[in-house]
Amino acid sequence: MTDTPAWAVTLFTLYPDMFPGPLGQSLSGDALARGLWSLETRNIRDHGLGRHRAVDDTPAGGGPGMVIRADVLAASLDAGLSADDTRPRLLMSPRGKPLTQERVRSLSEGPGVVLICGRFEGVDERVIEARGLEEVSIGDYILSGGEIASIVLLDACVRLLPGVMGKLESGSEESFENGLLEYPHYTRPREWEGRTIPDVLLSGDHAKIARWRREQAEAITQTRRPDLLKR
């Protein structure tokens, strides 16, 4: 349907049935159906060991939980990826660099991504090193697995792919895109529960409206996220 190859996702997980999940709906689901991006899920357990297809083992040095084995994950990656694959290999991990809109945009401008979803306590450090995995976090809290984190990352990237969002300018004014949180929005009715829409927005003076929005964005960023202004 398009001349350019689809933005390609290969995703390694123990729970392939979680996909496409919410990504099969709405904007990302339509884009998937239209071939603007593609999603291949690979079950890490297909390379599990023994009769039970074991993928994890107890942590060296003791402690709670289980760790995904380096040999099992490496076998899964090696079977699923070709040597000349240039896509970034991202391991979802609370230890990773926090995901930002800037990174999302740069990922969406590339060929696609390889995502690896951790479970249990995480994965054996050696496979992270040996297969050049980059750890990415979606925030300072702990999820039970990397699947939902992957869905977050993919949702954020896919909406930026060419042809996915209706209006071309939609996206450029959003929170974070210019280092500011977004200005407040209003729509009809003009008066609701005694609250009115700021007069300036009904003035038809586009320069004045742009100035007002800019001031609002700065004020909101100043109170809520002063760290963004410092950057």
Which C-beta is closer to ligand SAH: that of 29 or that of 145? Answer: 145
Which segment (7-15, 42-50, 74-82, 114-122) binds ligand SAH by CB under 6 A?
A: 114-122
Cα separations (Å) of 120 from 59, 117, 143, 225? 11, 10, 10, 33
In the DSSP assignment, the letter for residue 55 is -
Q: How many residues of this chain bind ligand SAH (CB under 6 A)?
A: 18
Letters for 80-109 (x = contact with ligand SAH by CB under 6 A, - = none) are ------------xxxx--------------
Distances in Å between the Cα of 156 and the Cα atoms of 13, 19, 26 are 19, 16, 13
Distance CA 226, CA 176 (A): 12
Binding mask 14-53 for ligand SAH (x = CB under 6 A): ----------------------------------------
- Least separation in angstroms between CB 94 and ligand SAH: 4
CB 106 to ligand SAH: min, Å = 18
Q: Which residues pair with 92 in a beta bridge?
A: 117, 136
- Least distance (Å) between residue 191 CB and ligand SAH: 43
Task: Say if residues 11 and 41 touch (Cβ distance below 8 Å).
Answer: yes
Letters for 144-173 (x = contact with ligand SAH by CB under 6 A, - = none) are -xx--x------------------------
Please name which of 166, 170, 172 lies closest in space to residue 31, comparing C-alpha atoms.
166
Extract the tokens encoding 71.
């040999």
**Does 141 sit near ligand SAH (CB under 6 A)?**
yes
Of the candidate spans 30-38, 44-52, 79-87, 132-140, the one that interacts with ligand SAH by CB under 6 A turns out to be 132-140
Nearest Cα to Cα of residue 23 among 149, 134, 127: 149
Backbone phi, psi, residue 95, to 5°: -85, -5
CA angle (221, 223, 227) in 5-degree steps? 60
Would you tell me which residues interact with ligand SAH (CB under 6 A)? 92-95, 117-119, 121-122, 137-139, 141-143, 145-146, 149
